Amino acid sequence: SLFDIDRVRTFRPPLYVILAGACGAAFAAVKFLPMVDYLAHNPWVPTELSQDTPIHILPYMFFSFDQSIFSTYIRGDAWGWHEYGAFIGPVTAALVVIAAVKRFRIVRPYIVLTILSLLLVLGSFVPVVSPWNLLHQLPVFSSLRVPSRLVIIALFCMAVMAGYGVDWLLSKVRSRKILLAGCLFAVVAGINLYVSLPILGQAFPRSPEAPAYNADFRQTEGDPNKLYSAFLSNRGTIRAAWLSAYRPGRGIIGAGNVNQEWYSEGNAVQVLKRTFTPNRLVFDLTSPAGGSLVVSQGYDRGWHRLDGGEIRPSYDLISFTVPPGNSRVELFYRPAWFTVGMIVSLASIIAALTLAFRRRLFRSQPIP
């Protein structure tokens, strides 16, 4: 849009982009607002910003016909094969070059974005002042890791430029344009299948496990690579690979190094029954004189008590007070800003549909 200012002699293009971004944020507010709030209160601050992608890997990422799990070009680097693969192939690359030469004025923004993306992919190649390091000075973006993931921006831009390359080629052919376009599609698809099919054959080298279902839910230390198996067997795991990037795994460990589901000092509170779901916990409790109960569930300010009582963090786990006698405590999880986000999303969608309907209605009315 910035490049369009010179062409159309107006600042409307970037304003349209800002408006489109605001509309997108409004449509997605039900998810976007809780996500921003969570990242703001739980920032992942990398212990080491000097993450980089060796520059010699870039040609292999885009052009190597060996993109398999066991590719040798990534051995010795910090991340696995799945963080580097960005194959485009020679034909697509040629189309990108054609677009850059013959449609330069049109594809300038995509060229700039591709260069910026590749600079980010290289990571901290220049300490402090590299784009990767500068990006980490911004809120939310400070949680980014694995710079090679940002290659997706370059891939998108090159895909668009390849389309302009095809458009230029078709403009030079007077007849059989459909045949030429079909041949280009077939060649590109064939090359990608040639590269990708062996990878699909290696993607699942192990047969699916058939875990035994357990009627009683409880937390276990678990395996971060077997979360789905744990779910099928009605087991929790305190070793979740992605959550551990923000907070260490936590749980209640009792005698014999056994995980416990709850803990009460001096056994002041006894649990008669518990119902567990990922977003709702119900406890039937009894306590002669009252006390507090710590639950083996990670604390987050999105947890609430149905009766409006207070929930406190205790060793980063959920803790709450229990009155004397028999009681029921129900906890439910609702992210902060969820309600506001839902209202904003619904209102923006209704407004967009209303505007679209009114425009269509006015266009369909005959002119007197």
Q: Give CA–CA dist 365/368, Å, rounded.
A: 9
Q: Give the pLDDT band (50/70/90) at residue 116.
A: very high
334-338 average pLDDT score = 90
| Residue 117 clears pLDDT 60, i.e. is over it | yes
Average pLDDT, the chain: 84
Domains, the chain, ordered by start: 43-202 (no CATH), 261-333 (2.60.40)
Q: Give CA–CA dist 186/164, Å, rounded.
A: 17
Distance of CA 241 to the CA centre of its chain: 14
DSSP 210-225: -PPP-SS-EEE---TT
339-359 average pLDDT score = 89
Give the tens place of pLDDT for each residue, 235-282.
887 776 655 455 666 778 777 667 788 999 888 999 999 888 888 999
Q: Which two tokens stand for residue 189?
A: 């698809």
Contact between residue 81 and residue 71 where contact means Cβ atoms under 8 Å apart = yes
Q: Give the pLDDT band (50/70/90) at residue 88.
A: very high
Q: Which two tokens stand for residue 30?
A: 């039900």
Contact between residue 309 and residue 321 where contact means Cβ atoms under 8 Å apart = yes
Mark 74-98 as b/e (b = at least 16 C-beta within 10 Å): beeeeeebebbbbbbbebbeebbeb
Q: Give CA–CA dist 317/332, Å, rounded.
A: 15
| Residue 72 clears pLDDT 70, i.e. is over it | no
Q: Regarding predicted confidence, which is higher, 54 or 104?
A: 104
SS3 140: coil
Partners of 220 in the β-ladder: 237
Write down the residue that tokens 């963080």 correspond to.
Answer: 83
Least confident of 58-67, 110-119, 154-163: 58-67
